[in-house]
Structure 1
Amino acid sequence: MATLIWLPATLAGLLTLHALVNARLLRRPVAASFTDPVAVLLPVRDEEARVGPCLRSLLAQRGVPGLSILVLDDDSTDGTADLVRALAGDDPRVRLLTGAPLPAGWLGKPHACQQLADATDADVLVFVDADVVLAPDAVAGAAALLRSSKVGLLSAYPRIVVGSWGERLVQPLLQWSWLTFLPLRAMERSARPSLAAAGGQFLVADRSAYRAAGGHAGVRGSVLEDIALARAVKRAGGRIALADGSRIASCRMYESWHSLVDGYTKSLWASFGSRVGAAAVVLLLCLVYVVPVPLFLGGVVAGSPRLVLAGLVGYLLGVFGRVISAAATGGRRWPDPLGQPVSVLLFGWLVARSYRLRRAGVLRWRDRPVVPW
């Protein structure tokens, strides 16, 4: 029994130590100049309310003489295309494309990204989401890091901007999860496609590696097309890397609790191999990060110093892991990490909701069905 009550704290300590090691190894883009042709590829669909800051930041990029900016309007029903035209003016670097109808077997974002990639012959492709705002040296720095790291695909995670309490509880789990559980250098060296992670908000690809992997056409039906593309690059013999892009990019993915729930629900089912795998992950997270709370409370009620200490140490180690992640990736270091047990419980609920709605066949995103091909 004495060993069991210390199990959550032991696991939390090991995982927090791993996060600390990863934080020290994490690659970070720095200001640089980059002379090879680079194309920034921006797919937009009904983004009138958000695309302005993104496009302005792209127009302010420096250090890349051969920069082009391609924007694809994917059947928007608002004033997205007109806003893009107004902001771009007569800047020769910007091209606005009209998206083709969505073919059978494709999801919307892979189709838009593939059309953008087909419209340029630049050596480096930089895929950016409309909710991302880049610092002036971001594209040059990320492209230079791609080359210096000798990888075919680089995912530079932006700083996640949060507003509501729901965002503050859930969104930091994105960076925390891969920093805590993924061995970064082993992932870069390993040829195993299963050992891969990527974030599509700010994704930098070598054109030859992208083509060898089949591009977005090869992941046309993938809800998590960014991770699927990273795995495809590995299968084609390429290498991938993650980087902290918090100093050069920011992103507010969701602006309300409702949109956050919808966004996670549409894709979480695709993050695990099966319902059994998903359940195992959620149970492990609850064991490590939730169980210390009832251990502590039970110890207080029972007057057991051992239970109190085991619960308190386990909880604080979990909080410290979140602080490490926030410090390494530009997140909020305080007081948000204190809510780690609640964050894990919310994540478990979102996973269950995603599987339930997928099974019911009612998952949708941007007024399009999310179909598991």
Structure 2
Amino acid sequence: MSALVSLEIGGFEHGPVEVLIYALGWSLGWLLLWRARPLRALSDAAPAGERASVAVVIPARDEALSLPNLLRPLVAQRRPGDRIVVVDDHSSDGTASVARAFDVDVITPPTPPDGWLGKPNACWHGASSTDQPVLVFLDADVRPGSTLLDDLAGAVADEPDALVSMQPWHRMETVGEQPSILCNITALMGCGSFTPFPRATAANVAFGPVIAVERTTYDRAGGHATPSVRSMHTEDIGLARAVGRSRLAVGSAATTTFRMYPGGFGDLVRGWTRSLATGARFTRWWTGLAVALWMCSVAGGWLAAPLVYPLTAVQIWVLGRRAGTIHPVAAALFPILVVVFVVIFVRSAISVVFRRDVTWKGRQVGARTG
């Protein structure tokens, strides 16, 4: 009779319900991040010399250390007619001087007026200073692949009414950066674009580090001046919703990467607190439920059935490599990653619910603006 109500694994007895719940969550993890589709999957990029000219807008606040890693490969792929504009957002570290050394345009926007946040304000003024038919917005911590501009221009040509964006592959070089990996994984899962059925599950969101859009589409949507965009610290999501359609991709270690929090663990906590729960607000409910079930299997499956611990560690390792750098030790010690993730998510949710400000780049940013 006991065989009907329990399941024995390796000498340990577990209830079948516990095992089935774990198996469901573990399986959902693979489906939610079935494949990290690269930008090339979105477009057969136009042949060299035949693409539209591109205006690259780089909002930069205290990014003197990051800019060389972005501008050096970016300038090398600039074509006649392209323009690169660094928007020095009132930096205090020589950002403008570093940018000018790479022979790119540098502008300083006015102080953000009431109702505007710093990054949307910088992006709007950068876009307004150019007239190229394709707009590309890049964060200063991005390290672009050698064909990024060609690929983005080709993707925009394929889908001129959509917002094209890419989440670069996250380079995490220190122990203090490793806890970011679960945040990266859930961000990719939550967008719904990397399941086996992306057209049916994708949400209308975007990845802020790399965005490309046809100028007429940007202007028609109101760009970063749209009230629901200019007041959002997750202005990428606001812009995707204003445009109405988005197409998402993921970089790889060999193509486009970024290093989000070189300052270590403190920056990581502040950065993800700023955006994690807000991103969850715009996730389709069924995708959010699936991600939550997967997280439950990761967090509690090994406690209910200790012998599934290696299965979860392997899954974290494989999925983590699709999102960025993950050390084998971090995957093996995944319960620590879970604790950090839960703490950050709770902090982020409290900030959203109670509209608490988060300090970022020396400014107070409302957690639920927009």
TM-score above 0.5, yes or no:
yes
AA of the residue aligned to 1:217: A
> What are the Cα deviations for residues 303-354 of structure 1, in whole angstroms up to 9, with x where unaligned?
xxxxx4xxx1xx4444444344345455447454334433232111001223
Q: 2:249 aligns with which of 229, 232, 243?
A: 243
How has the CA–CA distance of structure 1 residues 330 and 240 changed in structure 2, closer, same or farther, with 3 Å as cutoff? Answer: same
AA of the residue aligned to 1:59: V
Q: 1:111 aligns with which of 116, 121, 142?
A: 121
1:325 aligns with 2:340: no
Query: Could you say which residue in structure 2 is the equivalent of 1:6?
Result: 19
Q: 2:216 aligns with which of 208, 211, 219?
A: 208
Query: Could you say which residue in structure 2 is the equivalent of 1:296?
Result: 305
| Structure 1 contact 16–180 (Cα < 8 Å) conserved | no
Alpha-carbon distance between aligned partners in 2 of 1:125 and 1:225, rounded to the nearest angstrom = 16
| Structure 1 contact 35–65 (Cα < 8 Å) conserved | no
AA of the residue aligned to 1:11: L
| Structure 2 contact 38–250 (Cα < 8 Å) conserved | no
Query: Could you say which residue in structure 1 is the equivalent of 2:270?
Result: 262
Query: Could you say which residue in structure 1 is the equivalent of 2:66?
Result: 50
Query: Could you say which residue in structure 1 is the equivalent of 2:8?
Result: none
1:361 aligns with 2:347: no
> What are the Cα deviations for residues 27-83 of structure 1, in whole angstroms up to 9, with x where unaligned?
367775252110111111111122122121221115x43211011111112211112
- C-alpha root-mean-square deviation of aligned residues, in Å? 3.1
How has the CA–CA distance of structure 1 residues 243 and 283 changed in structure 2, closer, same or farther, with 3 Å as cutoff? Answer: closer
Secondary structure of 1:136 counterpart: coil
Alpha-carbon distance between aligned partners in 1 of 2:77 and 2:239, rounded to the nearest angstrom = 26
- TM (norm. structure 1) is 0.80
1:132 aligns with 2:142: yes
Query: Could you say which residue in structure 1 is the equivalent of 2:205?
Result: 197
> What are the Cα deviations for residues 282-311 of structure 1, in whole angstroms up to 9, with x where unaligned?
9645421111221234xxxxxxxxxx4xxx
Query: Could you say which residue in structure 1 is the equivalent of 2:335?
Result: 341
Query: Could you say which residue in structure 1 is the equivalent of 2:91?
Result: 76
Worse-superposed segment, 250-259 or 315-324:
315-324
Q: 1:252 aligns with which of 253, 256, 259?
A: 259
Worse-superposed segment, 208-217 or 37-46:
208-217
How has the CA–CA distance of structure 1 residues 197 and 261 changed in structure 2, closer, same or farther, with 3 Å as cutoff? Answer: same
1:222 aligns with 2:232: yes
| Structure 1 contact 73–80 (Cα < 8 Å) conserved | yes
| Structure 2 contact 124–225 (Cα < 8 Å) conserved | yes
Query: Could you say which residue in structure 2 is the equivalent of 1:305?
Result: none
Alpha-carbon distance between aligned partners in 2 of 1:364 and 1:240, rounded to the nearest angstrom = 29
Q: 1:287 aligns with which of 275, 296, 312?
A: 296
1:59 aligns with 2:67: no
Alpha-carbon distance between aligned partners in 1 of 2:190 and 2:359, rounded to the nearest angstrom = 30
Worse-superposed segment, 21-30 or 72-81:
21-30
How has the CA–CA distance of structure 1 residues 316 and 283 changed in structure 2, closer, same or farther, with 3 Å as cutoff? Answer: same
Unaligned runs of 5+ in 2: 6-14
AA of the residue aligned to 2:127: A
Alpha-carbon distance between aligned partners in 2 of 1:179 and 1:360, rounded to the nearest angstrom = 26
Number of residues of Structure 1 aligned to a counterpart in Structure 2: 343
Shift of 1:360: 7.5
| Structure 1 contact 223–270 (Cα < 8 Å) conserved | no
Secondary structure of 1:363 counterpart: strand
Secondary structure of 2:156 counterpart: helix
| Structure 1 contact 187–195 (Cα < 8 Å) conserved | no
